Amino acid sequence: MTDEKQLIAGLIAATNENIDAAMVADALETPPDRKLGDLAFPCFKLARTLRKAPPAIAGDILECLNRQPLPSVIAEIRIVGGYLNFFLDRGAVARTVVDNIDRLGDRYGSSDEGEGRTVLVEFSSPNIAKPFHIGHLVSTALGHSIARIYEFLGYNTVRINHLGDWGTQFGKLITAYKLWGDEATVMADPINELLKLYVRFHTEAEQRPELEDEARANFKALESGDPEITALWKLFVDASLKEFNRMYDLLGVNFDSFAGESFYTDKMPEVVEILREKGLLEESEGAQVVRFDDESMPPCIILKSDGTTIYATRDIAAAIYRKRHYDFYKNIYVVGTPQTLHFKQVFGTLKKMGFDCADDCVHVGFGYVRFPDKAMSTRHGDVVLLEDVLNEAVAKTREIIEQSTTSKDVDNVNSVAETVGIGAVIYTFLKNSRERDIIFTWKDILDFEGESGPYVQYAYARGRSVLAKAEEQGIEYADADPALLTSDEEYALIKLLSGLQDAVRDAAVRYEPSIVTRYVTDLAQQFNKFYNTCAIMKAEDDDIRAARLRLTACTATCIKTALRLIGVNVVEKM
Ligand code: ARG
């Protein structure tokens, strides 16, 4: 109801110089009961400034409003307690919404409010030479969606993959590779082979502790840029990236920067220097740490007792670099909630160092994925591998499609199964508020009738197939009159369509793609209600049929846009 809200806000603000239009637009709400109207303005907030009881304020505003003819979209205004309730003219609302969607197409719901501002979204960030696990997949889905949402609101968006490509584990890996590894084996199956080497290192080091010394020496050599050691490290990074990229391709995800932890090695001395200069470093058990005023917060370790830097130091250097390089408006980290304390320490240290941009750094956390299906959690010990999950989703979807009677005419089964199967997994990750744990069961994920990706994709395909039929029969609907769409089910659908931008904004402010997922699910459900109650192709007359077709086209546009914002693609038939 963005347009109607603006209109009503302007009218109310014009009645009294002490009322601000933006405040009214913000305060306008949707009454819980349809019978109470379409929008309600609570006058309670104004009671203090205007020194009057809310019902009296409502009365004053209404009197002023009635002094001149109201715009045709407002059918009636009633006072209910301290509220001013607006009843809209359904036909007029339908016209505005449908015309806007047709005019803006896939830009409908977007805005330019972010113009000139850069938002960094750091997500995925897997570790080199280690499996890309399900937590990284959740981060990938969430971050990808958050980036698309901000982009849609006009922000300049930069997607960053902060690869875990540095640290003492590389010393171990290099040691193991030199002893037992070879390039051909590693390149054939990089992550698994590197993992095997890493595991073997730990088993053998138990018997031969001198391996640990060798590993430390190798990491030192890496840190000081030894060419042979660096070449090995580079081999591991490239091999791992090749695998990660295969999954990103599958998910349709891309990054603007792969600047991982290694990128900041030469930027750490400055961090230590600033901290020293400001007298913020303290010694603790041989390590150098930063303490916080809040005693309940553990200190942030900057230098280990052997003088090497750690994960947190690299994050501090990264934030400073990002501020200088991108001058970000927001710097978002999509990382699981177990790292909440880590980010508090990093942002807290930045702030102490005098970098106020710490206030624009946001940790967007998320919960665990739980697998009640026993078979899934045991296959690889406790780690569920991402690729298995995706491949299984696609295979299971293909089975469902092949067995379904309605999808006989799907000719590209493989690509449909891929889009639907992967979409189903992404949808599941973005379905509930992100801090809640995600319960992963195939039954729910691929439930074509429940709250699932396939359910929404199916509603889209259903709409598209009606439109295709109309086109086949040469039925024109582009100029149909939306004012004919006034039944309860049609109006409910139109109101939902008008709410797309609000949902997107809300999702951005709260870093909550689940708001868009919820929105698109409601939209699909309401479309199905409309489809089942209002005959489209067999409508009572040609004009109504055309108007319903136009509404169907608008709904398809909005479902497609909303799904795109959560990183899910649509299919024309399924
Ligand atoms: N590589 C880390 C992990 O897998 C996540 C990195 C998160 N980002 C950061 N800036 N610390 O746990």
pLDDT tens digits, 158-179: 999 999 999 888 999 999 999 9
Could you tell me if 322 and 358 are in contact, meaning their C-beta atoms sit under 8 angstroms apart? no
Helix or strand holding residue 157 (H, E): strand 156-160
Residue nearest to atom 11 of ligand 1 (CA): 315
- What residue spans of 54-189 are helical by DSSP H? 54-65, 90-104, 134-152, 169-180, 183-188
**How many angstroms separate the Cα of 365 from the Cα of each of 136, 292, 352, 429, 488?**
12, 22, 23, 13, 40
Could you tell me if 363 and 339 are in contact, meaning their C-beta atoms sit under 8 angstroms apart? yes
Q: Which pLDDT value is given to residue 381?
A: 43
- To 10 degrees, what angle do helices 90-104 and 542-565 make? 60
Helix or strand holding residue 86 (H, E): strand 83-88
Tell me the two tokens of residue 115. Answer: 């113009």
Closest CA to 197 of 221, 231, 174: 174
- In this structure, the dihedral spanned by the alpha carbons of residues 368, 163, 156 and 26, taken in order and rounded to 10 degrees, is 20
- Transcribe 460-479 into DSSP letters: HHHHHHHHHHHHHTT---TT
Q: What is the pTM of this model?
A: 0.93
Helix or strand holding residue 42 (H, E): strand 39-42
Which residues are annotated as catalytic?
130, 133, 136
CA distance linking residue 100 with residue 4, whole number of Å: 13
Phi and psi for 550 in degrees, rounded to 5? -65, -40
CA distance linking residue 379 with residue 389, whole number of Å: 11
Q: Tell me, what amino acid is at 313?
A: T
- What confidence tens digit (pLDDT) does each residue in 237-284 have? 999 998 899 889 999 999 999 999 999 989 999 999 999 999 999 999
Q: Which pLDDT value is given to residue 159?
A: 98
Cβ–ligand 1 contact at 333 (below 6 Å): yes
CA of 124 relative to ligand 1 center, distance in Å: 8
Mutate to test the pocket of ligand 1, among 122, 125, 331, 344 (most ligand atoms within 8 A of CB): 125
CA distance linking residue 564 with residue 57, whole number of Å: 44
Tell me the two tokens of residue 457. Answer: 């994709």
Closest CA to 198 of 247, 303, 127, 126: 127
Tell me 337's DSSP state. Answer: G
- What confidence tens digit (pLDDT) does each residue in 427-473 have? 999 999 999 999 999 999 999 999 999 999 999 999 999 999 999 99
Domains along the chain with CATH numbers: 2-88 (3.30.1360.70), 387-565 (1.10.730.10)
Q: Which pLDDT value is given to residue 34?
A: 83
Could you tell me if 70 and 29 are in contact, meaning their C-beta atoms sit under 8 angstroms apart? no
Strand partners, 301: 289
Please identify, by atom number, the ligand 1 atom nearest to the C-alpha of residue 164.
Answer: 1
Q: Which pLDDT value is given to residue 168?
A: 86
- What residue spans of 353-412 are helical by DSSP H? 374-378, 386-403
Cβ–ligand 1 contact at 164 (below 6 Å): yes
Residues of the chain with pLDDT under 50: 378-382
Cβ–ligand 1 contact at 127 (below 6 Å): yes
Cβ–ligand 1 contact at 315 (below 6 Å): yes
Residue nearest to atom 6 of ligand 1 (CA): 125
Cβ–ligand 1 contact at 335 (below 6 Å): yes
CA of 136 relative to ligand 1 center, distance in Å: 9
Phi and psi for 332 in degrees, rounded to 5? -100, 130
CA of 416 relative to ligand 1 center, distance in Å: 33
Phi and psi for 133 in degrees, rounded to 5? -100, 180
- What confidence tens digit (pLDDT) does each residue in 351-394 have? 999 999 999 999 999 999 988 876 555 444 445 567 788 899 99
Q: Given the DSSP bridges, would you call strands 118-122 and 156-160 parallel, antiparallel or unpaired?
A: parallel
Q: Which pLDDT value is given to residue 384?
A: 56
CA distance linking residue 559 with residue 557, whole number of Å: 6
User: What are the strands of the beta sheet with 330-334, ordered from one edge?
Assistant: 156-160, 118-122, 330-334, 361-364
CA of 393 relative to ligand 1 center, distance in Å: 26
Could you tell me if 65 and 77 are in contact, meaning their C-beta atoms sit under 8 angstroms apart? yes
Residue nearest to atom 4 of ligand 1 (CA): 126
- Look at the alpha carbons of 329, 331, 337, 340 in this order and tell me if their dihedral is positive or negative: negative
Phi and psi for 379 in degrees, rounded to 5? -55, -45
Q: Going by C-beta distance under 8 Å and a sequence separation of 6 or more, which residues neighbour residue 119?
A: 147, 150, 155, 156, 157, 158, 328, 329, 330, 332
Q: Which pLDDT value is given to residue 378?
A: 42
**CB atoms closer than 10 angstroms to residue 307:** 10
Could you tell me if 552 and 493 are in contact, meaning their C-beta atoms sit under 8 angstroms apart? no
CA distance linking residue 371 with residue 197, whole number of Å: 28
**Gyration radius (Cα) of the chain, Å:** 28
Could you tell me if 552 and 453 are in contact, meaning their C-beta atoms sit under 8 angstroms apart? no
Q: How far apart are the first and last CA of the chain?
A: 32
Residue nearest to atom 1 of ligand 1 (CA): 164
CA of 311 relative to ligand 1 center, distance in Å: 9
Q: Which pLDDT value is given to residue 379?
A: 45
Closest CA to 89 of 76, 108, 70, 102: 76
Q: What does the longest C-alpha to C-alpha distance in the chain come to?
A: 92
Cβ–ligand 1 contact at 162 (below 6 Å): yes
Please identify, by atom number, the ligand 1 atom nearest to the C-alpha of residue 311.
Answer: 11
Mutate to test the pocket of ligand 1, among 264, 339, 383 (most ligand atoms within 8 A of CB): 339
CA of 164 relative to ligand 1 center, distance in Å: 6
Mutate to test the pocket of ligand 1, among 162, 328, 344, 347 (most ligand atoms within 8 A of CB): 162
Residues comprising the chain, all counted: 574
CA of 162 relative to ligand 1 center, distance in Å: 7
CA of 483 relative to ligand 1 center, distance in Å: 53
Cβ–ligand 1 contact at 125 (below 6 Å): yes
Mutate to test the pocket of ligand 1, among 300, 335, 350 (most ligand atoms within 8 A of CB): 335
Q: Which pLDDT value is given to residue 466?
A: 97
Closest CA to 122 of 367, 326, 304, 394: 326
Which stretches of 408-549 are assigned E, i.e. beta strand? 438-439
Tell me the two tokens of residue 159. Answer: 């997607």
